[in-house]
């Protein structure tokens, strides 16, 4: 395995994204089933800068080559290496019914249909705020997940800084929550939600413009039983979205939901996020469902760092960006974090690239 560890080390030095040898192995497993760079990133669960640099190094080692269709393929030397190391093609037994989430979106067809009809007029994802919407199937499954955990009916719910997914809208559409507060930095989304709440006579829901870099006022702190969010994977954003999300919770036994991806964060950083959750915020993790959130491709992809550093020019043709769905629960002694933060390194750092 020495070659894999050598490549991991070189890529780590070049990109500052932490890696281990098995990350390189996993990328080779992906190349055995697809030549598409974006599918390779998806299957190997790696930040784009790392996956891109691994491909480039393996090309210069004569293990991979890029054919004239921009497919990434093994050379004869690569085939020999893969056979020698016993590396097998990546397998995928994900459930076709629930898309691996455990809760199928079609369990509430009426909610799904209503949501899709309303979402067709949604504001387009824009780059300024790191937007990229999840599929309607993802959004509806999030609501069914909450409902199955007793985190929907009769609850006060805040949906924070992730309304490009329209999760707040979907929660409100159920009319099962006691109160829904949607906050987002993007006025287009806030206006969109408020217009629908008004048109449909949903009077327990409201949407409000808010920049999560600022501390919450007292009328939001400690007022909710459930928060939902979807932060960029920088430490500053993790605190602004999740620390502040916890600060909105009333008491012990309340729940927080958020997405965390391995496409803009290494598994090493996940451990640091988990240390913050467990040691600093004093909450417990109850669920981590990999690949729960499926993100639709965004129009501004060609402008992103991801597109610029990719080893190929070809754009993604299918869903390749996914994130895990975390649920946390507050326990006695949990900490509310609500400091102001500067906007340095808020959306993007060395492991991120899709903003």
DSSP string, 244-285: HHHHTB-STT-EEEEEE-SSSS-HHHHHHHHHIIIIIS-EEE
Q: Which stretch binds its own copies (CB under 8 A): 56-64, 126-134, 275-283, 300-308?
A: 275-283
Contact mark string toward its own copies, 205..244, x via CB under 8 A:
----------------------------------------
Q: Is 150 in the site for its own copies (CB under 8 A)?
A: yes
CB closer to its own copies, 69 vs 94 = 94
Q: Is 319 in the site for its own copies (CB under 8 A)?
A: no
Q: Is 107 in the site for its own copies (CB under 8 A)?
A: yes
Contact mark string toward its own copies, 246..265, x via CB under 8 A:
-----xxxx-----------
CB contact set of 178 (below 8 Å; sequence gap of 6+): 154, 155, 156, 204
CB of 22 to its own copies, least distance (A): 3
Cβ distance 272 to 339 under 8 Å? Answer: no
Q: What Å distances lie between residue 9 and 6, 52, 53, 167, 282, CA to CA?
A: 5, 14, 11, 40, 34
CB of 273 to its own copies, least distance (A): 9
Q: Which two tokens stand for residue 128?
A: 């300024």
CB of 88 to its own copies, least distance (A): 4
Q: Which two tokens stand for residue 208?
A: 């409000």
Pick the binder of its own copies from 60, 69, 88, 308 (CB under 8 A). 88
CB of 59 to its own copies, least distance (A): 22
Q: Which two tokens stand for residue 283?
A: 């909450």
Q: Which two tokens stand for residue 131?
A: 């937007």
Q: Is 103 in the site for its own copies (CB under 8 A)?
A: yes
Helix (H, G, I), strand (E, B) or coil at 223: coil
Q: Is 342 in the site for its own copies (CB under 8 A)?
A: no
CB closer to its own copies, 98 vs 221 = 98
Cα(169)–Cα(182) distance, rounded to whole angstroms? 8
Pick the binder of its own copies from 7, 40, 55, 90 (CB under 8 A). 90
Cα(82)–Cα(88) distance, rounded to whole angstroms? 8
Q: Under rule CB under 8 A, which residues in 172-191 are in contact with its own copies?
A: 176, 178
Helix (H) or strand (E) holding 57: helix 48-60
Cα(211)–Cα(335) distance, rounded to whole angstroms? 21
Q: Is 92 in the site for its own copies (CB under 8 A)?
A: yes
Q: Which stretch binds its own copies (CB under 8 A): 56-64, 103-111, 157-165, 231-239?
A: 103-111
Residues that bind its own copies (rule: CB under 8 A) add up to a total of: 61
Pick the binder of its own copies from 79, 116, 209, 284 (CB under 8 A). 284
CB of 92 to its own copies, least distance (A): 6
DSSP string, 15-43: H-----HHHHHHHHHHHTT---HHHHHHH
Q: Is 203 in the site for its own copies (CB under 8 A)?
A: no
DSSP string, 78-129: HHHHHHHHT---------TTTTTSSS-GGGGHHHHHHHHHHHTTPPPP-GGG
Cβ distance 207 to 190 under 8 Å? Answer: yes
Which residues would be at the binding site for its own copies (CB under 8 A)? 20-23, 25-26, 29, 85-88, 90-98, 100-104, 107-108, 144-145, 147-148, 150, 152-154, 176, 178, 251-254, 267-268, 270-271, 274-275, 278-279, 282-290, 329, 331-332
């Amino acid at each position: 395995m020495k070659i894999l560890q050598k490549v991991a080390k070189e890529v780590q030095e070049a990109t500052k994204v932490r890696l281990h040898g098995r990350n390189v192995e996993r990328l080779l497993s992906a190349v055995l089933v697809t030549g598409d760079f974006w599918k390779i990133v998806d299957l190997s669960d790696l930040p784009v800068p790392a996956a891109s640099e691994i491909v480039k190094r393996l090309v210069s080692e004569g293990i991979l080559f890029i054919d004239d269709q921009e497919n990434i393929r093994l050379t004869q030397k690569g085939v020999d290496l893969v056979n020698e190391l016993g590396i097998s093609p990546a397998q995928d037994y994900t459930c076709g019914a629930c898309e691996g989430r455990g809760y199928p979106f079609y369990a509430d067809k009426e909610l799904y249909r209503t949501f899709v009809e309303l979402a067709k007029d949604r504001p387009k994802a824009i780059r300024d705020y790191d937007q990229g919407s999840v599929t309607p199937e993802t959004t509806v499954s999030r609501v069914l997940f909450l409902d199955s955990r007793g985190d929907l009916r009769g609850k006060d719910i805040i949906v924070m800084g992730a309304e490009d997914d329209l999760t707040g809208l979907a929660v409100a559409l159920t009319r099962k929550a006691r109160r829904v507060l949607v906050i987002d930095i993007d006025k287009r989304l806030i206006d969109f939600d408020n217009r629908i709440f008004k048109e449909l006579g949903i009077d327990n829901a409201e949407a409000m413009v808010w920049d999560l870099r600022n501390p919450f006022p007292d009328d939001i702190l400690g007022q909710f039983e459930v928060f939902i969010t979807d932060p960029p994977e920088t430490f500053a954003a993790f605190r602004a979205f999740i620390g502040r999300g916890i600060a909105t919770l009333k008491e012990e036994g309340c729940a927080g939901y958020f997405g965390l991806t391995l496409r803009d964060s290494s598994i090493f950083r996940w451990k640091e996020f988990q240390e913050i959750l467990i040691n600093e915020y004093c909450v417990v993790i109850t669920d981590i469902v990999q690949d729960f959130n499926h993100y639709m491709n965004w129009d501004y992809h060609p402008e992103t760092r991801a597109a610029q550093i990719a080893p190929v020019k070809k754009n993604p043709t299918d869903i390749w960006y996914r994130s895990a769905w975390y649920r946390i629960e507050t326990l006695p002694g949990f900490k509310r974090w609500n400091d102001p933060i500067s906007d340095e390194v808020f959306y993007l750092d060395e492991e991120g690239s899709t903003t």
